[in-house]
Amino acid sequence: MATYKGIKGVKVVTKATDPTASEATGTVWYNSTGDALKYSIEGAGAWSSGGVMNSSRGSGGCAGRTVSTSMGMGGNPGAGSSALVETYDGSSWTEIADLNTVRQFNRGTGTSTAALTTGGGPPVVAINESWNGTSWTEVSNLNTARGQGGEVGSSTAALYFAGAAPSTVYDIMESWNGTSWAETADLNTARRYANAAGITNTAALCVGGNTSNPGSSSTANSETWNGTSWSEGNNINNARFNSGSGGPSTSAMIFGGSTPPVKANSESYDGTSWTETADLAVADSDLGGTAANTTSALTIGGGQPPIANKASEEWSDPVYTIKTVTVS
């Protein structure tokens, strides 16, 4: 009769406690404490509950390169606007120094120690604030006041594109060099509630959005920035606006949003095409979000006024699970 050692060339190891599921993938062991034969498998990505924020908010700015170094700033707490800022360490949220200007529909980029938050309203503002890890400082304004745009890059080299002011939807983009903003190449499609991805000012995505103001004409359009111009790319599978998004321009995520109604759909991008992944646990829009790449992402707040929430969800792909061998 075939044995495990005969097939694999090694014996089944005895352990008093289970190893980490991801480390043990593809192996079998005997748990002596629980008197059970176990193994670990790699499954498809999934969303799970993250830490609960201290303050409810939707339509705020976000920054961060990883789930455990994320930041949410400003937003709508259900009525009006907020200056509150919180950071996430992978398990809990902590309030830090407030913005100088209360606002929602602001956008953000950078890291939890060096970030920007730009634009917003109401009424629409051109205000740009810089975070140095301790406090916020007002720096040079956008040339065109607006909110609901997309922002990518770093605190010293960023892009702000699309957005809206009353009765106007913009296709313009501005570039930040650490000192001032300059208008650069326009998008092909004007939109507000733009979803953005990108960690530099030379490679970015502008995805989905709303092409009318007022109104709710959601689009599936996706554009890529190569440092010189915008070009049409493959569309997302589900047209939407006011989603969460993030990640590098070649390994990005978009999740939630509205057409309306609100959506739970999540999609990942490999640099060429968008693929549907597992849905959010709770359909929502007005989301903030960050992503390291297509394997790790975070939703921040959400909700449509007069409702805002404190929830966050974390995306992991793949998901590792420890199973017990059963005999029936």
CATH of 46-316, one of 3.30.465.10, 3.90.226.10, 2.60.40.10, 2.120.10.80: 2.120.10.80
Instruction: Identify the pLDDT of residue 303.
Output: 93
Write out pLDDT tens, residues 28-80: 999 999 999 999 999 999 999 999 999 999 999 999 999 999 999 999 999 99
Give the DSSP per-residue string, 24-62.
TBT-EEEETTTTEEEEEEEE--EEEE-PPPSS--BS-EE
| Mean pLDDT, rounded, for 241-264 | 96
Whether residue 1 has pLDDT greater than 70: no
The 10 Å Cβ neighbour count of residue 229 is 13
Whether residue 203 has pLDDT greater than 80: yes
Whether residue 172 has pLDDT greater than 90: yes
Instruction: Identify the pLDDT of residue 22.
Output: 85
Contact by Cβ (8 Å): 309, 65: no
Task: Count the residues in the chain.
Answer: 328
Whether residue 4 has pLDDT greater than 70: no
Kindly give, in sequence order, each residue whose CB lies less than 8 Å from that of residue 234, ignoring residues fewer than 6 positions away.
222, 272, 273, 274
Whether residue 157 has pLDDT greater than 90: yes
Whether residue 5 has pLDDT greater than 90: no
Instruction: Identify the pLDDT of residue 328.
Output: 59
Instruction: Identify the pLDDT of residue 214.
Output: 78
Per DSSP (E only), the strands in 70-208 are 70-73, 85-88, 93-96, 107-110, 115-118, 128-131, 136-139, 150-153, 158-161, 164-165, 168-169, 173-176, 181-183, 195-197, 204-207
User: Which of 141, 140, 134, 135 lies closest to 120, judged by CA?
Assistant: 141
Q: What is the mean pLDDT of the chain?
A: 94
> Which position has the higher pLDDT, 204 or 6?
204
Order of strands, edge to edge, in the sheet holding 252-255? 244-246, 252-255, 266-269, 274-277
Instruction: Identify the pLDDT of residue 305.
Output: 85
- Look up the pTM and report it: 0.90
Instruction: Identify the pLDDT of residue 304.
Output: 84
| Mean pLDDT, rounded, for 135-159 | 98
| Mean pLDDT, rounded, for 130-134 | 98
Per the listing, tokens 């303050």 go with 55
H or E stretch at 6: helix 4-8
Confidence of residue 18 (pLDDT cuts 50, 70, 90): very high
Whether residue 9 has pLDDT greater than 80: no
| Mean pLDDT, rounded, for 113-141 | 98
User: What is the percentage of the chain residues whose pLDDT exceeds 90?
Assistant: 88
Confidence of residue 221 (pLDDT cuts 50, 70, 90): very high
Instruction: Identify the pLDDT of residue 7.
Output: 64
Q: How far apart are CA 63 and CA 84, in angstroms?
A: 14
